[in-house]
Every structure is written in C-alpha cells, then in structure tokens.
C-alpha cells in the first residue's frame, strides 16, 4: 500500500513539475511575441497585440498540438514540423493573424487549413463558432481528436478542399487561411460577410509571399492591405498548388 501511495505521489509531482515548466515556457513565448510585435510594428501597424489575443495564446496548451515527442519544444517561437510536409505555425504568426481579425466574441469564423488544430483552438477561445477544413486526412483526423480532447466544442472540423470554402456554413464574419495561395480564392470572398475580414498569405511556393488583410465593405467591395512578408506551405486543392 505504501508503495502504491508513493508511486501516485511521484506521478502527481512529475505532472505538476511538467505543468510548471509549460507555464514558464508559455510566459517566455508571450514575451518573445510581444518583442516581435514591436519590431514589426512599422509593417503590421500593430505595435502590441490585444489582451484578448495574448490571453487566448496563453490559455491554449500548444504542447497538445505538436508532433509526439516534440512537446519540450512546443513553446519555442518557431514553426514545428508535424508530418505530411506540414508545420504548426510560429506563435508570433498565429498571434498576428489572429489579431488582424479583431474578433470581439460571438463571431462565426472559417479557417482553411486545420493543420495541427492549434490555430483553431486559439480562434475557439475568441469566437463563437469556428469551422475548420483540412485537406490532408491524417492531419485533419488527428487535429479533430486533439481539439475534442482539449475541450473545444465550438470548433467544427471536416476533411475537404478549403479552396472552395464551406458554403453550407457561410457567410462568415471572418476567414483565416493558414497556407499560401497563388491568388485569393473567389469563393472565400463570396462567403465573407459584408464588414468581414479575410487574412490570407498569397504568393508562390518557396517564393515571395505576403500576408494580406482583406476587408469587405457593406456594398461587397474589398480593400486589401499587405501586412508582412511571410513563408507558408502551399494551399493545395482546386485552384491551389498541386
């Protein structure tokens, strides 16, 4: 009996130490994001990110969404490989593109490229409902499992071609694309509500890419602002990279 109690105590202590380590790593990640926001302010127009954005990143346990065995590096401010030639985005980029949507709470958001599920979880902290599409089945199914295990009931996922959006759930208050398209998919503009915002990286695979912020006005017209030079994996599917 004493041995069992001792084992349980040791296990609990190991879990607490690991959790403390993650908390410290998340705090360091937040400091690095804040520093990068200041450094890129001239380009992005955002010298500091909102409390809501940073609080969401602090809440989401990124170590749940990285590749197995990569948990110790989960909070480094770098992209991480997650298999199938894909990556989980750099935390600063996750914060920036989340910030650009200016979510106030209650919105319906579309994400193209579920990937690991991390960005969807961050959006789930800020929006009412998040619809997320992943074209790579093995990644989409794993992300769905991770999001469910982490308790994100307001994130709805499916396997499919995100280039065509999600017509049944449209229109959306905001749309985020997490892979680089050669051009902005017309379907996404159509499915964006008037007054809505679309954040998307556009450019050639391995070449020059820019993160764009597109605002749709009440009359259906769009205004596009180039935010930052970036490097993303290509958007695949009809109209994207093959």
At residue 241, the pLDDT reads: 56
pLDDT value of position 10: 40
Closest by Cα among 174, 26, 37 to 92: 37
Nearest-angstrom CA–CA distance, 223 and 213: 8
> What is the reported pLDDT for 233?
92
DSSP state for residue 200 in the 8-state scheme: E
Taking alpha carbons only, the member of 110, 235, 122 closest to residue 175 is 110
Per-domain boundaries in the chain: 2-230
Q: What is the pLDDT of residue 7?
A: 43
pTM, to two decimals? 0.90
d(CA 48, CA 151): 29
What residues contact 80, with CB distance under 8 A and at least 6 apart? 66, 67, 70, 73, 74, 87, 88
Rounded to an integer, what distance in angstroms lies between the CA atom of residue 123 and that of residue 152?
10
pLDDT at 8: 44
Residue 233 vs residues 5, 54, 83, 84, 205: alpha-carbon distances, Å: 49, 25, 12, 11, 7
The pLDDT value given to residue 12:
41
Instruction: Give CA–CA dist 227/169, Å, rounded.
Output: 28
Looking at domain 2-230, which of 3.40.50.280, 3.40.640.10, 3.40.50.150, 3.40.50.300 is its CATH number? 3.40.50.150
d(Cα 227, Cα 234) in Å, to the nearest integer? 18
Catalytic residue numbers read 89
β pairing state of 129-134 and 80-83: unpaired
Say what the pLDDT of residue 5 is: 47
Q: What is the pLDDT tens value at each position of the chain, 242 positions in all? A: 555 544 443 444 344 445 568 999 999 999 999 999 999 999 999 999 999 999 999 999 999 999 999 999 999 999 999 999 899 999 999 999 999 999 999 999 999 999 999 999 999 999 999 999 999 999 999 999 999 999 999 999 999 999 999 999 999 999 999 999 999 999 999 999 999 999 999 999 888 999 999 999 999 999 999 999 999 999 987 665 54
pLDDT confidence of residue 6? 46
Positive or negative, the CA dihedral 147, 141, 98, 33 is positive
């Amino acid at each position: 009996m004493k041995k069992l109690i001792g084992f349980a105590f040791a296990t609990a202590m190991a879990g607490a130490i690991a959790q403390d380590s993650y908390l410290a790593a998340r705090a360091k990640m937040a400091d690095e994001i804040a520093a990068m926001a200041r450094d890129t302010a001239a380009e992005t127009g955002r010298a500091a990110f909102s409390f809501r954005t940073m609080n969401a990143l602090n809440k989401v346990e990124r170590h749940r969404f990285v590749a197995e065995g990569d948990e110790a590096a989960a909070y480094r401010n770098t992209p991480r490989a997650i298999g199938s030639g894909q990556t989980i985005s750099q935390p600063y980029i996750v914060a920036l593109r989340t910030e650009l949507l200016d979510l106030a709470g209650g919105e319906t958001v579309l994400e193209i490229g579920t990937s690991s599920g991390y960005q969807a979880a961050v959006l789930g902290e800020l929006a009412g409902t998040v619809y997320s599409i992943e074209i790579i089945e093995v990644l989409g199914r794993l992300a769905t499992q991770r999001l469910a295990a982490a308790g994100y009931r307001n994130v709805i996922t499916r396997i499919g071609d995100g280039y065509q959006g999600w017509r049944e759930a449209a229109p959306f208050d905001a749309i985020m694309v997490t892979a680089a398209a050669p051009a902005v998919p017309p379907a996404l503009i159509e499915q964006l509500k008037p007054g809505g915002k679309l954040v998307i990286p556009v450019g050639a695979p391995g070449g020059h890419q820019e993160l764009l912020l597109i605002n749709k006005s009440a009359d259906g017209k769009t205004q596009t602002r180039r935010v930052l030079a970036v490097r993303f994996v290509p958007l695949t599917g009809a109209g994207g990279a093959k």
